[in-house]
Amino acid sequence: MSTYAVGDLQGCHEEFVALLERLDFDPRRDRVWLAGDLVNRGRGSLDCLREVMALGDAARVVLGNHDLHLLAVARGGARLKPKDTLEPILAAPDRERLLDWLQGRPLVVRQGDTLMSHAGLPPSWSPERGETLADEVVERLGSERAGDFLEGLYGNQPARWSDDLDGLDRLRVIVNVFTRMRFIAADGTLEFGAKEGLSSAPPGFAPWFQYPRDDDPRLLFGHWAALEGETPGSRVRAEALDTGCVWGGSLTALDLDSGERIGVPSRH
């Protein structure tokens, strides 16, 4: 049995199938962790959802910002953006089954000292604390108030976590940490404008993984294609999984036991 962690699919269905074939992946034996953003930008978003859902218990998936955007468009009144490639999902005969499945995914997957989320884990949150906060979002997504949450999902404020936050502000910060975080300040303030490599850090901000922690979990994350799978200057055990398949890079799987990385080139 092998367990692999794979970065953002973003609709790269052909590459995902090719990667599974290269891994000789058998869902009866092996497991795959997917770091979110299954959909959007690539041309195979609908097929990606169907493929991953068909893997059943062999796949563990966390929500990314593009996955939540799909849910917000379908069930929260948000509008499609010009570069979105989500229309085939919204028009699919099985859309409700796919959306129900996606809406039931967590923000965090944790096993032992290994934690995976789409964007990472801030230094002020332990894995246990992060998992507890992520569960608040999961609970809301599974409730009758999910539509209100998806309507109020968008926004950059509050930009910093506080234990005193409540309501939609609290949930929005949790979502932004787990799905949009790249650069943060020493006090945990999130910065949303810079999306390129480390040289694009605004004054006073640094990548979340360059801050020290009081513990030493293994942190798996996607979201940041510009890192090209590297975490320069990291002061924690952080492993970047997004190698920019949808942008012409590759789709990469990390063998969680051996540490080996196996990739297939983009077909875009």
pLDDT along the chain (268 residues), means of 10: 97 98 97 98 97 98 98 96 97 98 98 97 97 98 95 95 97 98 98 93 97 97 97 97 97 98 94
Distance CA(212)–CA(14), nearest Å, equals: 38
C-alpha 32: how far from chain center: 14
Question: Would the pTM count as exceeding 0.85?
Answer: yes
pLDDT at residue 116, as a whole number: 98
DSSP string, 5-32: EE---TT-HHHHHHHHHHHT--TTT-EE
Token pair 């332990």: residue: 126
pLDDT at residue 188, as a whole number: 97
Structural domains in the chain plus CATH codes: 3-265 (3.60.21.10)
pLDDT at residue 212, as a whole number: 97
Distance CA(24)–CA(230), nearest Å, equals: 25
pLDDT at residue 268, as a whole number: 77
